[in-house]
Amino acid sequence: MAVSLTFLLIFTLITGTDGALTVIPAKAGASVTIPCLYESKYRNHVKYLCKGYYWNSCSYAIKTDSQQGSGKYSISDDKIQTIFNVTMKHLTVENTHYWCAVEINRGSDVRQYFQLSVTTGTPSLYVDNQEVTGFIGEDVTISCHYRTSKERKWCRLGRNCVTGVSGSIDGTTVNINTKEKSVFNVTMKGLMPKSSGWYYCDNGNFQMPVHLTVTAKPTTAPTTVTTAGEMTTEGQVQTTKGEKSEVSSFPVPLSLIIPLSLLIFIVAVALLFLFILRIKHAKAQDSTPSKLNEGEMTYSEVTFRKNKALQSSAAESDAGVIFSSAVPVNKQGVKRTDAKDEDVTYSTVLHHR
């Protein structure tokens, strides 16, 4: 059993009731929390823990009206539940005799004696967990470990006990399995909200309390995701066909959040870069002059002839004249009719040797 386990003890403080000797096993170095129940009429009274074997000579360890102490003890009072809790830390073999007490003005204080059996090895009686949670309608099993075989019981504080292999406590079925060595397993079946409370394993003179809390079993809330439809208030998605579908929730591990965020950022930057390149490419195409189609070109014919006035020059020959012609062609590629003289432009180029 781990050193950090906390042991719980509960006493009902009733005036005039002789409490039987109660021994609570504990391990050295561990912490002990002692919830002490009291009657509602003592709700506004001072509660305290008294240390010592004899009541008349015990000394205050800690009180609810004074939180001063060595740090070994702490106390709190829950007036709604009528219970005050005392915690003792760093137990030693000398921590043995204590009293839970309620201060009574003009009268004798109400008190209950208990003894801690602190050992350096395995305690005489212990459970795996002092705080147990069960769900409504389901079962819960508590394992009570012991060193010496004595009469084994499972009891509810202030109520009845089950001593055989089966029984009932407040309408809840209890089964006790004693087949394993040095342990008896208690199974409570069909838990109800009223099953919540304090119980304890009993093995001879030793008692080990266990607090049971019964709650409704939590359900995983569906993830509300909107697709092409409408999101409902119950976490359902209304599809385009009018059908409802429920989406289960899948928790994303924290270790994946940063890589996913980085990936999304890289993809976004890449898409933006491609978008900019596309815009630049489109602008470059708009600024390039398009080639003219051959059918859209107009051809003209220009004929250069010698001027009669220049024929007398013996120094010039036909080689000094450049003839150029342009033939008009329609868009269907057919030549127009022959050009007339008035339609011809003459150009003379003299070549001087």
- Top-confidence residue, 310 or 273: 273
Q: Return the pLDDT at 310.
A: 41
C-alpha span between 169 and 160 (Å, rounded)? 7
Instruction: Reply yes or no on whether the pLDDT at 29 is more than 50.
Output: yes
**In the chain, % of residues over pLDDT 90:** 29
Confidence of residue 113 (pLDDT cuts 50, 70, 90): very high
**In the chain, % of residues over pLDDT 70:** 63
Q: Which of 130, 147, 272, 260 is nearest to 204 (CA)?
A: 147
Query: What residue has token string 């049971």?
Result: 212
What is the pLDDT averaged over residues 296-318?
47
- 6-119 and 125-215: identical CATH topology: yes
What is the pLDDT averaged over residues 264-278?
88
- pLDDT, tens digit (0-9, with 9 covering 90-100), for 54-99: 999 999 999 998 866 568 899 989 888 788 888 889 989 988 999 9
Q: What are phi and psi of 40, to 5 degrees?
A: -60, -25
Q: Return the pLDDT at 101.
A: 96
Q: What are phi and psi of 240, to 5 degrees?
A: -70, -25
Task: Please state which of the four CATH numbers 3.90.1150.10, 3.40.50.300, 2.60.40.10, 1.20.120.160 is assigned to the domain occupying 6-119.
Answer: 2.60.40.10
Q: Return the pLDDT at 103.
A: 95
Confidence of residue 312 (pLDDT cuts 50, 70, 90): very low
- Top-confidence residue, 235 or 17: 235
Of 1-10, 95-104, 161-170, 266-275, give the lowest mean pLDDT range: 1-10
C-alpha span between 86 and 60 (Å, rounded)? 12
Distances (CA, A) of 90 to 52, 69, 84: 18, 14, 20
Confidence of residue 34 (pLDDT cuts 50, 70, 90): confident
C-alpha span between 186 and 146 (Å, rounded)? 13
Angle at 201 between CA 10 and CA 170, to 5 degrees: 80
What is the pLDDT averaged over residues 37-43?
92
| Tokens of residue 259, six digits | 């890589």
Q: Return the pLDDT at 334.
A: 44
Q: What mean pLDDT is reported for the chain?
A: 74
Q: Return the pLDDT at 12.
A: 46
Task: Please state which of the four CATH numbers 2.60.40.10, 1.10.300.10, 3.20.20.190, 2.40.70.10 is assigned to the domain occupying 125-215.
Answer: 2.60.40.10
Q: Return the pLDDT at 13.
A: 46
Cα radius of gyration rounded to whole Å, the chain: 51
C-alpha span between 118 and 94 (Å, rounded)? 8
C-alpha span between 36 and 48 (Å, rounded)? 10
- Domain residues of the chain, as ranges? 6-119, 125-215, 296-353
| Cβ neighbours of residue 248 closer than 8 Å, sequence gap 6 or more | 220, 222, 223
- Top-confidence residue, 284 or 217: 217
Instruction: Reply yes or no on whether the pLDDT at 242 is more than 90.
Output: no
Handedness of CA 334, 338, 341, 347 (dihedral sign): positive
Of 1-15, 165-179, 247-261, 272-286, give the lowest mean pLDDT range: 1-15
Fill in the DSSP letter of residue 292.
P
Instruction: Reply yes or no on whether the pLDDT at 27 is more than 70.
Output: yes
Confidence of residue 43 (pLDDT cuts 50, 70, 90): very high
Give the three-class secondary structure for 64. Answer: coil
